[in-house]
């Protein structure tokens, strides 16, 4: 760690991990309700569980992005953060808003659009928090060294704030409501979030492989270019069946097929950088998460996205468990793993020690990733059976759900494995540092400026 103010990343990482825990616990509960439907049905019905599961995910990923930005921007800009104090206040407000939202949901205080259930005052608070954050990092970047990484990262983060403004627009016409709802949801996760992800990945590659910055930055431009060229018109794959014109079937099919490209090139990029870089970085766990992130995102977002994105396929699969399978692996691969990668990389620096608990951290990687893979296969099989019975044979929804019940047991078991993996990860990151690792000796060897 070169700059004192990078330390503001710590509370963000802790807060993100705490909400990650909430997300997984509630996810386990929701998975349990799938197989034992009478559980909690009066106290905390499924709609509330799912709201907490998805909202906790989105908020902790954002919190992780904020922390990652506060960690890497001083290092990239080669100066202290504009205002560490503002960053701490921002964290307090954001965490308070997140917890208030969760508690509110339990007491049925929420709005009703998927993922945007936050009451209006919390949405306003999110905008205030975002502006504090953007002011802080933009000032830091403007006064310091500009790099491609900071440019793309800051652009992505401004985009997140900008597109969130569409959450305040809720037209009475349902089709319009849906069309603009995707301006938040799709342009986030298949647009500007990819900018954030790719720039964090590029930062990690520079730090851990030692490959020349020029080369990494060229790759970064190419990857985020492909992401936006395909992802913007790729929004069309959400406009097939919601009252929008038929031409979206062609545009959406074509461009969302191309959405595989940036994820494919992220894999090529990560693997190539690791092979090319001669550096034997001691933080093998962080490297595993980084490369694993690119690979899993390629499968989850790329391959599983493509599986059901062509309009004539989507006509049958839209809104089935196939969608759920894709959603789970895509979010895990692209956004959960990039966060866990930067946490794994940054924590030893933030704690001023050499990389520690590497074996445990790597074990948690395999358990979580393996669990998510099994979950994805279970939901995919459930989805394919559902498509055939319900969409081809025309069988009743509830009857079909009873037919695919065994897959939901597999999904629950896989979820339990992910949960155990996450517990290992938390210990590997937050647990006491073994005596032999308490000096930052090895870290200093790869980062001479420290």
Partner 1 sequence: MTERFTKAAARNIFYGGSLFFFAAFVSLTAASHIYVVNTGTDSKGLTDSVARGKHVWEKNSCINCHTLLGEGAYFAPELGNVWIRYGGDKDPEGARAALAGWMAAQPSGIEGRRQMPQFHLTEQEVNDLADFLAWTSRINTQNWPPKISG
- Report the residue from 79, 284, 391, 438 that binds partner 1 according to the rule CB under 8 A: 391
Listed ranges 20-28, 240-248, 279-287, 441-449: which one lies at the site for partner 1 (CB under 8 A)? 240-248
**Using CB under 8 A, which of 29, 59, 390, 415 touches partner 1?**
390
Which one, 49 or 132, has the nearer CB to partner 1? 49
* 294-333 binders of partner 1 (CB under 8 A): 315-316, 318-321, 323-324
Q: Which of 244, 241, 372 is nearest to 308 (CA)?
A: 241
For residues 437 and 350, the answer to whether their CB atoms sit within 8 Å is: no
Q: Does 215 bind partner 1 (CB under 8 A)?
A: yes
Stretch that binds partner 1, among 35-43, 273-281, 368-376, 421-429 (CB under 8 A): 35-43
Q: In this structure, are residues 330 and 259 in contact, taking their beta carbons and an 8 Å threshold? A: no
Binding flags for partner 1, 62-91, as an x/- string (CB under 8 A) = ------------------------------
Task: Choose one: 174-182, 273-281, 300-308, 363-371; the region binding partner 1 (CB under 8 A).
Answer: 174-182
**Chain centroid, CA 142 distance in Å:** 27
Tell me if 430 contacts partner 1 by CB under 8 A. no
- Do 444 and 404 form a contact (C-beta atoms < 8 A)? no
Among residues 5, 90, 167, 249, which is the contact residue for partner 1, using CB under 8 A? 249
For partner 1, the closer of residues 240 and 332 by Cβ is 240
Q: Is residue 214 involved in binding partner 1 (CB under 8 A)?
A: yes
Long-range contacts for 100-105 (Cβ within 8 Å, ≥24 apart)? 101/55, 101/59, 102/22, 102/52, 102/55, 102/56, 105/48, 105/51, 105/52, 105/55
Nearest distance from C-beta of residue 318 to partner 1, angstroms: 4
User: Is position 248 an interface residue for partner 1 (rule: CB under 8 A)?
Assistant: yes
Region binding partner 1 by CB under 8 A among candidate stretches 105-113, 355-363, 414-422, 423-431:
105-113
385 binds partner 1 (CB under 8 A): no
Question: Rule CB under 8 A: is residue 376 a binding residue for partner 1?
Answer: no
Nearer to partner 1 (CB atom), residue 193 or residue 356 = 193
- Part of the chain binding partner 1 (CB under 8 A), chosen from 2-10, 60-68, 171-179, 355-363: 171-179
Tell whether the torsion through CA atoms of 242, 244, 247 and 248 is positive or negative.
negative
Nearer CB in complex with partner 1: 262/292: 262
Contact between 112 and partner 1 per CB under 8 A:
yes
The reply to whether 253 sits near partner 1 by the rule CB under 8 A is no
Q: Compute the least distance from the CB of residue 168 to partner 1, in Å.
A: 14
A 10 A CB-CB count for 99 gives 15
Only one of the segments 60-68, 338-346, 396-404, 412-420 lies at the binding site for partner 1 (rule: CB under 8 A); that segment is 396-404
Contact in structure between 213 and 147 (CB atoms under 8 Å): yes
- Close Cβ partners of 419 (under 8 Å, ≥ 6 residues apart): 24, 25, 28
Q: Which residues contact 50 (CB under 8 A, 6 or more apart)?
A: 30
User: What separation in angstroms does the CA of 140 have from each of 149, 161, 201?
Assistant: 14, 18, 21
Give the three-class secondary structure for 447. Answer: coil
Chosen residue from 81, 101, 228, 266 binding partner 1 by CB under 8 A = 228
CB distance 145 to 76 below 8 Å:
yes
- Determine, following the binding rule CB under 8 A, whether residue 107 of this chain makes contact with partner 1: no
Residue-by-residue DSSP string for 311-338: HHHHHHHTTSHHHHHHHHHHIIIIIIHH
Provide the CA 270 distance to its chain's centre, in angstroms. 18
- Decide whether 140 or 311 has the Cβ nearer to partner 1: 311
Residues in contact with partner 1, counted by CB under 8 A, come to a total of 74
Say which residues have a Cβ less than 8 Å from residue 256's Cβ, sequence separation at least 6.
Answer: 230, 234, 236, 237, 305, 306, 309
State the minimum distance, in angstroms, from the CB of residue 376 to partner 1: 14
Considering the rule CB under 8 A, would residue 174 count as an interface residue with partner 1? yes
Structure token digits, residue 322: 């196939």
Residue indicated by tokens 């975002």: 130
Q: Which is nearer to partner 1, 42 or 449 (CB)?
A: 42
Query: Of the ranges 228-236, 278-286, 341-349, 441-449, which one interacts with partner 1 (CB under 8 A)?
Result: 228-236
Restricting to residues 129-168, name those near partner 1 by CB under 8 A: 148
The Cα 438–Cα 432 span in angstroms is 10
């Amino acid at each position: 760690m070169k700059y004192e103010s990078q330390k503001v990343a710590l509370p963000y990482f802790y807060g993100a991990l705490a909400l990650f825990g909430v997300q997984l616990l509630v996810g386990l509960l929701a998975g349990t309700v799938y197989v034992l439907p009478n559980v909690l049905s009066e106290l905390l019905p499924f709609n509330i569980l799912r709201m907490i599961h998805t909202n906790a995910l989105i908020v902790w990923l954002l919190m992780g992005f904020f922390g990652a930005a506060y960690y890497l921007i001083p290092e990239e800009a080669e100066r202290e953060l504009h205002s560490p104090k503002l960053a701490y206040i921002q964290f307090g407000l954001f965490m308070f808003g997140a917890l208030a939202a969760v508690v509110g949901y339990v007491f049925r205080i929420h709005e009703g659009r998927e993922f945007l259930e936050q009451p209006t005052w919390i949405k306003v608070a999110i905008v205030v928090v975002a502006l504090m954050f953007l002011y802080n990092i933009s000032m830091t970047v403007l006064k310091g060294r500009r790099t491609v990484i900071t440019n793309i990262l800051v652009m992505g983060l401004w985009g997140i704030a900008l597109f969130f403004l569409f959450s305040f627009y809720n037209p009475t016409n349902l089709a319009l409501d849906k069309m603009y709802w995707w301006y938040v949801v799709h342009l986030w996760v298949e647009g500007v979030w990819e900018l954030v992800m790719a720039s964090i990945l590029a930062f990690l590659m520079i730090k851990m492989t030692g490959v020349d910055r020029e080369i990494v930055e060229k790759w970064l431009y190419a990857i985020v270019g492909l992401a936006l060229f395909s992802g913007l018109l790729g929004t069309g794959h959400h406009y097939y069946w919601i009252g929008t014109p038929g031409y979206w079937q062609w545009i959406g099919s074509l461009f969302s097929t191309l959405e595989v490209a940036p994820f494919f090139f992220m894999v090529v990029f990560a693997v190539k950088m690791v092979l090319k870089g001669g550096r034997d970085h001691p933080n093998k766990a962080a490297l595993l998460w980084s490369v694993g992130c690119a690979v899993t995102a390629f499968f989850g977002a790329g391959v599983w996205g493509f599986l059901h994105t062509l309009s004539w396929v989507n006509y049958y699969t839209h809104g089935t468990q196939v969608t759920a399978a894709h959603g789970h692996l895509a979010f895990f691969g692209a956004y959960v793993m990039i966060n866990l990668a930067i946490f794994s990389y940054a924590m030893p620096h933030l704690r001023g020690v050499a990389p520690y608990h590497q074996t445990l951290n790597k074990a948690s990687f395999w358990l979580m990733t393996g669990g998510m893979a099994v979950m994805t296969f279970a939901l995919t099989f459930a989805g394919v059976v559902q498509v055939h019975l319900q969409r081809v044979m025309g069988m009743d929804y509830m009857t079909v759900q009873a037919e695919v019940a065994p897959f939901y047991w597999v999904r629950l078991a896989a979820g339990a494995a992910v949960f155990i993996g996450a517990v290992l990860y938390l210990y590997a990151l937050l647990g006491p540092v073994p005596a032999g690792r308490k000096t930052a000796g090895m870290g200093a060897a790869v980062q001479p400026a420290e």
